[in-house]
Structure 1
């Protein structure tokens, strides 16, 4: 018995190996591409993806997080300017704005590099932005500031620049409170 089992196992392995070999060879030895029949379904590999870079229009701009400041903004602006200069926009002294008139193509190709602050991103993407802004205004009013929500685009509105300047620190605190859940996505840590 043991010998017959061993022999059966050997025969089964030999047959399975032969079947596998035939299957592999058959799969590799099909007709040439120009001789293939359209009535027979075949597996074809996809064409390689385009080597062209992704469209700048679909890219998100970098965000200045709540814990970042002027230094980070300036770093992003320098990257944006280098993009412009590399596409033919004349260089300008540090601190000056590039002259973009007549350079629409360069402007369009580099616009995704110009930073936005986290509140600008919220204004564009958060459907609850106006409600959060109203909560910010309530907080500011509780601290004694005269403020409303309105305009196009919607924003906090003060009576004058002096009132806005006096409210600056309280506004930052009230924004962080009103947007506390949304702000988590900008956490730098």
Structure 2
């Protein structure tokens, strides 16, 4: 099963078995303003009570590029390519064997794209209803989709090759997950 973000980010198409789980997203800005000469993102610090320093922002995701529901695959790819480039520039060797405390991962954390919150079941109380709406919309476009383990999926990877697939997927995602509620 292949997550849509991985598919678009790596520009690879595949399916495991007969199902291809997908979820789409959009893109936000990724501004390099505020970078120092060493390529690191500048951050504000404040003195901590113990004499050390504490980060000015408690949110570890602050400043990361935000994928939107209506982002195109090209926009998502650009965001992931910037993150992958940062990882490579910081010495990451194998993209599939990175650990969360890897120095390259830590150095590039601010460039790792965030998926749309609407596509996170923990953040979207209507997620289950939205998944069913997504499947209904895709079927309306002739795409063989189904609900599988709480997510929407394609019956086969061949569905990705249907004419206008990406256009339909983006349209359905915006309607299902970002619709009038």
Structure with greater Cα Rg = 1
With normalisation by structure 1, the TM-score equals 0.48
Q: Which structure has greater helix proportion?
A: 1
With normalisation by structure 2, the TM-score equals 0.50
Q: Which has the higher contact order (CA 8 A, sep 6+)?
A: 2
